[in-house]
Amino acid sequence: MDNSLTLILWFLGLWTLSVGIAYLIARRRKADPIFMPSQFWRLRTEQGSLRARFIGESGNGYMIEAPMSNGSYVPLRPGAPVYVEAPGMGTAMTFHAKVVDRDKNLRTLTLKRVSNPISHNRREDVRVRADEAIRVNGVPSILLDSSEGGAKVITGADLAAGDLVRLENGDTARTAWVLEVLPDTLKGRLASRARLIFTEPTR
């Protein structure tokens, strides 16, 4: 009887130890990366649209190379707000962040880590054909289709990739970033076919 009880307690102790070790390993395991390494991010800042290469993550946040414009580094100050568009693992990611650190010697910036960047996988978005009249930056346009994350329009507005635009449909208005612009026509006049990504996705 005593031997059986000892054996049961021994197995119980071994099981408890194995569960504890597995728990500690799970807690120490790093989360899978969500951003493509060594890729360029697009930064929407108070100084305009900039590009910067993603270095990696640190304890303080996301490390990027200091962005450049016209051959010079752009001195984004700590606390400066940034809207980021970044390539993720098979999808595009966007989020709002702030600069939390700047290393002048290494010429790097650190952006505050966010808990839930927005994923924009346009291939998986359910697109709804519209073909309805809207206004883009006040210019009469046609909404071709839309989804939770973005839209496609034909417009006479002068647009370029990276522009922030305002879409108006009746009493409803929202903003979006221009991803791509291709030549097209609208009512016999030269126009642009533009792909847009909403600054705030439809929920």
Q: Residue 70 sits in a domain of what CATH number?
A: 2.30.110.10
Q: Which domain holds residue 102?
A: 40-120
**Which of the four pLDDT bands, split at 50, 70 and 90, describes residue 138?**
very high
Between 127 and 106, name the one with better pLDDT: 106
Q: Is the pLDDT of residue 4 over 80?
A: no
138 with 113, same domain: the answer is: no
> Structurally, how many domains does the chain consist of?
2
Q: What is the mean pLDDT of residues 10-14?
A: 62
Residue 26's pLDDT is what?
Answer: 46
CB 168 within 8 A of CB 135: yes
Query: Using CA atoms, how far apart are residues 33 and 29, in angstroms rounded to an integer?
Result: 12
**Which residue among 91, 120, 149 closes a domain?**
120
115 with 132, same domain: the answer is: no
pTM to 2 decimals? 0.52
Query: Using CA atoms, how far apart are residues 94 and 41, in angstroms rounded to an integer?
Result: 10
Confirm whether 144 is domain-assigned.
yes
